[in-house]
Structure 1
């Protein structure tokens, strides 16, 4: 062991040093060595950014557990993760270290029984692994006990930090961490573990709001692993009708042949397509007499089904491929994965980076990426935009940006009024009532919600009108009639929208949950957990469905995450169309489709103009991200046009190019509108959980701050391409 390495190791608790020696560690990885002293000293907040499987967990916990050991193992560490499965995985991982130090580990989430929680409450010391929802519940139900439970809290570790940024759960977590510090009356060190983002400064600002400049950011400089890459285009016949699944069935047949010698992760772009591929590959295995080694994994599956897939991946008895959603993007231990299959365009560069990071972990083994794109043969009624083959273009663009090491920066901050509603209700529960002034100070002045006092008062009045809150004679805010009912329901603690989920059962076994409509009835067919089913019984009041095995089925109507495409990705797509080079990793069919798309781009003269017209439909090519293009849609609608964002372009129906040009000129010269002047609430529903309780003005401002870039849209209208 080199002298400098020995010096680094000597900062750690002796039992940890022995464990590292037994594991054959000759030194710490660069990020681990750099994070050791700042975390051990405890004065600075720290963000550790590195790829999946780069040792971020050890980078945080080796020094933190050393601190607990030095204090006689009497302190507390709080670990917050976005997924219960990740907590279960880290419990096993950390227990190996903590046993050497005499430190207890307590997983705390909805699938864990009360025994573990009772042991911690009786003797609050050790490592608590918790989700934001369970932390919300803990603060709400045990507000008076927080000083006793967390009086010796040393630090909070936030895993998968990038997954929280700019989301409802992220703002919820920021508020919870501030409320915890407010209850304890002191600042607690925060350590964030994150994938690399386009702007790590914004990650630091998220971890410690308004103080990101004081957060120590440690970004891994480890060399990128080698990558074997191919993009394959698969043609889908035009006007498929009953053959609409032809291309995907062809991909499934190819996967059956290719993925027989190692473990892979297969990522279609929706839960419904996960089910299609799981069912198709299971039937192909059975038809050919092969063992079924293609297993589904997504958030709607029951715990037993998900854990069964994870177990088969880790066991290594047979080469197994998981067909999954983003549930397996994060750092759950699923053993050695050779490669990733992406079906359809990745929604973001950051997501693709996470997925590839799961593969090629064995020494000397390259990661593999098999990218499949379905390219439809053009029909007479396909439309101008179809000839540009946007799925292929986006796939190539995202991969090129990934290879160039560009990642989306976190989106800018937004109002998150819906989450503020929940935090008001939660704070009332934590403190058994709170004054309006105190709630505003805790949540807005010192907390993460940057809301003007007048807006906060308007919000409280709306909550009172909806009977979520009331005020007693001492001007203390309490739960109202509706609020009391809501906060006492188990769904209250999640910041995101809860859906009407039906429990699916077969032969007494829970399969998982699925949102169904009341129109579903006995005899209806569906695909779930990789099999085709028929509804034998359905109880719409108890939300329970009994299934029997069937030979036919329909895909559940569930989409992808709806992640907005960034400006940089669309710019790269346009550069591809204007270019002449062909990435070496395209197969022959993909090269032919790219050539056809470029010819179509030139025929439409899109390098020189913004619009093309088919009859009375205008396609407006802005080449901007979804936040800008969605804003353009609303601005054009305010001008009396019927517009929609199609991704690669905006479609304006029943209009001529001159009308669209006039509308853009009017948008460019007008002042930036108030969101309330262009948005229409009945058409928007309630995108976030508590939006229904917001007054119109705050609802529109909140939606616009999260989803629209009105300034960029007006800038486009003014300058064009």
Structure 2
């Protein structure tokens, strides 16, 4: 029997008469059963796969069956663009059963907010940061609004779980739990991820409801994939030719790349728009509107359009170079192939060898049905500092026990003991971030100055802007900026691209977060070619190695990419000789690990502690400069590093942490003890467990 029979009669009638539906999709059947039975759930389905209805139809049915006053359902979006995108749809679904929804964010009109506060409606739509605003603001009666909260729906939960904003949201949900009379059900909507069961457990927090993963069957579907190897001029011509008369998205992995690509397409007789986080909201919404209604339009974008923003039926997906994960590739490709008879597609337009092989690796891993795990944080100390201050600001003063009892249920604090929690509070008191009188904690003078009422906007957002290094000419002229991951792997005399020009690195100042460069002479080939991938996974890097040592040809590659792949295989012939071979080049030694960014960083810093030579690393190899290192010496060091107790040595861990670049990854990082600050950077940069496993594999081979 279809779950449709369990829906409230008014909802049944609305689905048939207003929407014209004649049945439910499998994901809607499965999710509705789970939610109506009182489960928490993570619902997996591709973009436009019916996830929104899968969550909201059973919720609306329950709200009709057991009506209450006030806000009973909370919809949380990771980005405002998706919030705006869902406004009309959720407005229709609530209106057709006699309910209302309200969208609360920074740009909502004050009079509309006041009307909502006077009479809260059934569905509230917001973002994590705006939800924090509501809890902290003295003008918002949070208990009145949320005391009847019964459901929380988090859209694109995989995008939040992988970053600080997800940890922040889990803590905020525990604070909401203290305001609500109900143990509200938690529903996450997600694209495909590798560790969905872990995400469900992470979402559960202190909830007493059982949890289910909803994964509908996905029949095999045809995909149209291409990998092309070409130069920048041919790239623009190729896109202009193929995008003419179509609706397309062109993904890039940086704002700078998006801008340069859009400029190169300006004269290709296609309406070109740019969409990334530095573009104004009006410009982004115009781009979304144009591609939804237009016929000869392309948006050059970053990951801002990777999430479930509805821009209508798309014809083509282009990808400049390659994304850093299988998950991103699948999410982007999933924007096409939705209408009857359409085929999901992606064309990789690569201008560097690294990107070309990486694109092949992503496709092959996707064909093996492998997707990365989302990295979850269970000891988010900096988020804990943020939440302690937020609770002090929210209440004026709060007891230690109340903070602990409220926040201890959040998964992001699961690995933090109560004793460690009190040690942190004592440190914050000593540093004047907190004050304690008669057992009540409040904001200290230093916190008031930085995060208090006069500077309250600083406290609403948990994240800080990405770390960037300035690039200056030798005369001191500002040329632009590069990401810290790129700055950490470039070397002196490396040639790189910035603003469409070649530059040679002459000096790197990590403490000043600055790179000094001079113009590259004509004919000097950029070593990085403008493609500097983020830290890649171990599995992807090993797949790249497997591709290079095989003789397989890939039918989705064009002639130029197959030719370049053949040349790379000849150049890297030695990779087949060992699991992770050594190569001597110009008085330098390369250790080709193909182990990924975090493992190679860990090996780099550990070996720097063991050896007296300069070591640099990227996703694929470690480079040793100085006295040539013999294979025997390296093997002996690795045997030592393979010992079970080696990575437990606190002196080693401290040495590794002190070698890391001094990066500010969180605005609350300076509030932490020095050791915790180092641990925060280490979690981003290192992977001790996987490094040890890799060493063991090396020694076996």
Name stretches of at least 5 consecutive residues in structure 1 with no aligned partner.
235-246, 376-388, 501-513, 534-558
State whether residues 597 and 618 of structure 2, in contact with CA within 8 Å, keep that contact through their aligned partners in structure 1.
no
Residue in 2 that maps onto 1:339: 316
State whether residues 147 and 180 of structure 2, in contact with CA within 8 Å, keep that contact through their aligned partners in structure 1.
yes
Q: Distance in 1 between matches of 2:42 and 2:622?
A: 39
Alpha-carbon shift at residue 697 of structure 1 (Å): 1.9
Moved more, 54-63 or 678-687: 678-687
State whether residues 201 and 213 of structure 1, in contact with CA within 8 Å, keep that contact through their aligned partners in structure 2.
no
Alpha-carbon shift at residue 21 of structure 1 (Å): 4.0
What pairs up with 1:443-454 in 2 under 5 angstroms?
A: 443-444=407-408, 448-449=412-413, 450-454=415-419
Find 2:641's aligned residue among 651, 667, 676.
667
Alpha-carbon shift at residue 301 of structure 1 (Å): 0.7
Find 2:381's aligned residue among 417, 426, 436.
417
Alpha-carbon shift at residue 606 of structure 1 (Å): 4.4
State whether residues 262 and 320 of structure 1, in contact with CA within 8 Å, keep that contact through their aligned partners in structure 2.
yes
TM-aligned CA distance change 1:476 to 1:114, over 3 Å: same
Residue in 2 that maps onto 1:652: 624
Residue in 1 that maps onto 2:679: 701
The answer to whether 1:208 aligns with 2:192 is no
What pairs up with 1:215-294 in 2 under 5 angstroms?
A: 215-234=211-230, 247-282=231-266, 284-285=267-268, 290=269, 292-294=270-272
Alpha-carbon shift at residue 648 of structure 1 (Å): 1.6
State whether residues 274 and 300 of structure 2, in contact with CA within 8 Å, keep that contact through their aligned partners in structure 1.
yes
TM-aligned CA distance change 1:560 to 1:100, over 3 Å: farther
Q: TM-score, normalised by structure 1?
A: 0.83
Find 1:306's aligned residue among 281, 284, 291.
284
Q: Distance in 2 between matches of 1:206 and 1:572?
A: 29
Find 1:393's aligned residue among 337, 357, 365.
357
Residue in 2 that maps onto 1:101: 97
Q: Distance in 1 between matches of 2:684 and 2:470?
A: 28
Residue in 2 that maps onto 1:582: 553
What pairs up with 1:466-505 in 2 under 5 angstroms?
A: 466-472=431-437, 474-485=438-449, 486-488=451-453, 489=455, 490-498=457-465
Residue in 1 that maps onto 2:59: 64
Alpha-carbon shift at residue 216 of structure 1 (Å): 1.3
Deviations 1:341-361 (A, max 9, x none): 111122100011110111121
Residue 618 of structure 1 aligns to a residue in which SS?
A: strand
The answer to whether 1:321 aligns with 2:304 is no
Residue 249 of structure 2 aligns to a residue in which SS?
A: strand
State whether residues 174 and 207 of structure 1, in contact with CA within 8 Å, keep that contact through their aligned partners in structure 2.
yes
TM-aligned CA distance change 1:105 to 1:696, over 3 Å: same
Residue 123 of structure 2 aligns to a residue in which SS?
A: strand
Q: Distance in 2 between matches of 1:15 and 1:174?
A: 31
Deviations 1:314-365 (A, max 9, x none): 122x321110000001111111111211111221000111101111211111
Residue in 2 that maps onto 1:437: 401
Residue 483 of structure 1 aligns to a residue in which SS?
A: helix
Residue in 1 that maps onto 2:569: 598
What pairs up with 1:117-128 in 2 under 5 angstroms?
A: 117-128=113-124
The answer to whether 1:459 aligns with 2:413 is no
State whether residues 10 and 97 of structure 2, in contact with CA within 8 Å, keep that contact through their aligned partners in structure 1.
no
Alpha-carbon shift at residue 407 of structure 1 (Å): 0.8
State whether residues 676 and 701 of structure 1, in contact with CA within 8 Å, keep that contact through their aligned partners in structure 2.
no
Residue in 1 that maps onto 2:486: none
Q: Distance in 2 between matches of 1:268 and 1:362?
A: 25
TM-aligned CA distance change 1:617 to 1:366, over 3 Å: same
Q: Which has the higher contact order (CA 8 A, sep 6+)?
A: 1
The answer to whether 1:47 aligns with 2:21 is no
Alpha-carbon shift at residue 411 of structure 1 (Å): 2.2
Q: Distance in 1 between matches of 2:160 and 2:531?
A: 18
Q: Distance in 1 between matches of 2:84 and 2:585?
A: 55
Q: Distance in 2 between matches of 1:438 and 1:53?
A: 42
Q: Distance in 2 between matches of 1:410 and 1:560?
A: 24
Residue in 1 that maps onto 2:544: 573
Alpha-carbon shift at residue 698 of structure 1 (Å): 1.8
Q: Distance in 1 between matches of 2:678 and 2:35?
A: 42
Name stretches of at least 5 consecutive residues in structure 2 with no aligned partner.
482-498, 501-529
Residue 573 of structure 1 aligns to a residue in which SS?
A: helix
Q: Distance in 1 between matches of 2:532 and 2:189?
A: 22
Q: Distance in 2 between matches of 1:609 and 1:80?
A: 45
Residue in 2 that maps onto 1:550: none
Alpha-carbon shift at residue 95 of structure 1 (Å): 0.9
What pairs up with 1:87-166 in 2 under 5 angstroms?
A: 87-142=83-138, 145-166=141-162
Moved more, 351-360 or 487-496: 487-496
Q: Distance in 2 between matches of 1:580 and 1:428?
A: 63
Q: Distance in 2 between matches of 1:191 and 1:100?
A: 22
State whether residues 633 and 650 of structure 1, in contact with CA within 8 Å, keep that contact through their aligned partners in structure 2.
yes
TM-aligned CA distance change 1:131 to 1:522, over 3 Å: farther
TM-aligned CA distance change 1:184 to 1:515, over 3 Å: farther
Residue in 2 that maps onto 1:611: 582
TM-aligned CA distance change 1:141 to 1:561, over 3 Å: farther
Alpha-carbon shift at residue 22 of structure 1 (Å): 4.3
State whether residues 575 and 581 of structure 2, in contact with CA within 8 Å, keep that contact through their aligned partners in structure 1.
no
Q: TM-score, normalised by structure 2?
A: 0.85
TM-aligned CA distance change 1:632 to 1:210, over 3 Å: farther
Alpha-carbon shift at residue 172 of structure 1 (Å): 0.5
Q: Distance in 2 between matches of 1:705 and 1:210?
A: 25
TM-aligned CA distance change 1:104 to 1:483, over 3 Å: same
TM-aligned CA distance change 1:207 to 1:143, over 3 Å: farther
State whether residues 94 and 101 of structure 2, in contact with CA within 8 Å, keep that contact through their aligned partners in structure 1.
yes
State whether residues 270 and 560 of structure 1, in contact with CA within 8 Å, keep that contact through their aligned partners in structure 2.
no
TM-aligned CA distance change 1:216 to 1:520, over 3 Å: farther
Deviations 1:349-384 (A, max 9, x none): 001111011112111111221111113xxxxxxxxx
Alpha-carbon shift at residue 521 of structure 1 (Å): 13
